[in-house]
Amino acid sequence: MKYFFSPESEALYLDTAGTIIPADAVELSAEEYAAVLEGQAQGQVIRPDADGRPVAVEYAATVAELFMTLRARRDALLRACDWTQMPDSPLADELRSDWAAYRQALRDLPETVTDPAAAEWPVAPA
């Protein structure tokens, strides 16, 4: 069996019946194939090196992905405290106001940070 890697699609291929191997694919030894698969099993991603050969590297999230994660966490925190703003919630007016300020800080967070990985999260009222 032959093994291939396509730098363009960043994918591995086996030369089996019916498999279409991309034109840019490079043939791999069984050892190379096993090594990149092992890296992938350990949480790494397979990328092409300068020569188009596959290497397993640590995944680094893009800034856009980090902001998506930040917004998802922010949205979950907002949902968890929606009840604090309901007119019939059992909170005193001062505590309800504290929760409103916390919620506003959460909503503002994506617009006020430049590095989403180092965001300083507001603390929920006690």
Per-residue pLDDT reduced to its tens digit, 8-50: 999 999 998 888 999 999 999 999 999 999 999 999 999 999 9
User: Residue 19: what pLDDT?
Assistant: 87
Q: How many CB atoms lie within 10 A of CB 11?
A: 13
In angstroms, the first-to-last Cα distance of the chain is: 63
User: Residue 98: what pLDDT?
Assistant: 98
Per-residue pLDDT reduced to its tens digit, 55-100: 999 998 899 999 999 999 999 999 999 999 999 999 999 999 999 9
Q: Average pLDDT of 93-121?
A: 96
pTM assigned to the model = 0.61
**Rounded Cα distance, 10 and 7, in Å:** 5
Between 59-63, 104-108, 118-122, the lowest mean confidence (pLDDT) is in 59-63
**Rounded Cα distance, 84 and 58, in Å:** 41
Pair 29, 18: CB distance under 8 Å: no
Q: 69-78: string of b/e by CB count within 10 Å (b at 16+)?
A: ebeeebeebe
Q: What is the DSSP string of 35-101?
A: HHHHHHHTT-EEEE-TTS-EEEE-----HHHHHHHHHHHHHHHHHHTGGGGSTT-S--HHHHHHHHH
User: Residue 126: what pLDDT?
Assistant: 87
- Where in the chain are the domains? 3-57, 63-118
